[in-house]
Amino acid sequence: MKTNRLPSWANAIIRWSIKEEYLEEILGDLKELYAIRKTDRSNLYCFFLLKVQLVLLLRPALIKSPAAAKNIHIMMLKTHFKIGLRSLWKFRTYTFINLFGLSFGAASAIILFMAAEYEDSYDLFLPEHEQVFRIAEKSPEIGEYYQTRTPVAPALETEYPEIIASTRMFNYGGWYTYEDRNIRSDIYLVDEGFGKVFQFEVLEGNLFKTLSEKGKIALTSSQAKKLFGYESALG
Amino acid sequence: MSRKGIGEFEELVLLAIAILHKEAYGVVIKEEITQRSGRKVSIGALQTAFRRMEDKGYLKSYFGEATAVRGGKRKKYYELTGHGSSALQQVRELRQSMWSAIPATVLKNFE
């Protein structure tokens, strides 16, 4: 009795991938199918059909579980997790208190770090941002106060040689009318030291000349785009 | 594994097994389905259907004789369980009751 055989590579792949308990049936079926097909098809085509069958055999229900699933240590870990979850559920109140406390703490810490990072991120685009300081007043009655009197800056600049430049700023922001449009803008009244303290990149015109004359305005590029579109903001 | 009801492919497999009666094993079931429905069935698709329906309790199987063409491997015969045939029957009854519920005027258009 001549027994029918599959090509050895096909045999090896099936033995390697398919679960032991289905091996006999699947191998038998494949061999029978292969024999039927060999009667009226070319060898090459039969190989191709066999390969198609092999690919279609790769289904979760039929293939061996990966080696990891059989590993005793991983099984043990799974059991530990299961037991852990069950005990968490058994002591629900404490689980809730602990989980809530931990998540609240973690959330607060994250928010605090983000706030600190935000405070640290001011004016980093300026070339000498480490040298720029803001002057505040502190008095017993009202605590810290970020508005100072007008003569403070010039006085400090003359009395302390370490101060290279100073500027005073006064917030004058609000609604403004340009042609027929109402525009909300942050506007600051500044003195001529502004250009030296905040060394902005100038796109058009002369910042120092603008700042040293009365009745002139310097615009940020986004503000200029808002007002004039893509036309020049000068003139 | 307690999903109820029979899928369309599962129904074909069960019917083929019922037709073949005592002679139903892998390759023959595959040929039966292909002959009657004209669709190509892979051994993998068939095997998963067998596994699923064995889990559901629709099928039982036993090993038969080995043959040379199977390379000395035994055939595995499949048989409907009582549960399997009643599930098949239920599908049929559902179909029939829905068919008979179609109004005659609509049914005329089908012909």
* Contact yes or no for B27 and A58 at CB 8 A: no
Q: A4 — contact with chain B (CB < 8 Å)?
A: yes
pLDDT value at residue A207: 84
Q: pLDDT per residue over A68-112, tens digit each?
A: 666 788 888 889 999 999 999 999 999 999 999 999 999 999 999
Q: What H or E segment, with its residue span, contains residue B79?
A: strand B74-80
* Contact yes or no for A56 and B51 at CB 8 A: no
Which of A32, A34, A37 to mutate against chain B (most B CBs within 10 Å)?
Answer: A32
Q: pLDDT per residue over A101-159, tens digit each?
A: 999 999 999 999 999 999 888 878 888 888 888 888 888 888 888 888 888 888 988 89
Residue B1 near residue B18 (C-beta atoms within 8 A) = no
> Does the ipTM surpass 0.85?
no
Q: pLDDT per residue over A174-212, tens digit each?
A: 888 888 888 888 888 888 888 888 888 888 888 888 888
Q: What H or E segment, with its residue span, contains residue A170?
A: strand A169-171
**Shortest CB distance from A4 goes to which of B26, B27, B71?**
B71
Q: What is the DSSP letter of A66?
A: P
- Shortest CA distance to A173 belongs to which of A137, A205, A220? A220
B/e letters for B14-47, b = 16+ CB within 10 Å, e = fewer, are: bbbbeebeeebbbbbbbebbeeeeeeebbbbbbb
Work out the number of other CB atoms within 10 angstroms of the CB of residue A50.
18
- Shortest CA distance to B77 belongs to which of B93, B56, B90, B61? B61
Half-sphere exposure of A11 (CA within 13 A, CB side): 9
Q: Compute the nearest-CA separation of A40 from chain B (Å).
A: 16
Q: B60 — contact with chain A (CB < 8 Å)?
A: no
Please provide the size of chain B in residues.
111
Whether pTM > 0.80 for this model: the answer is no
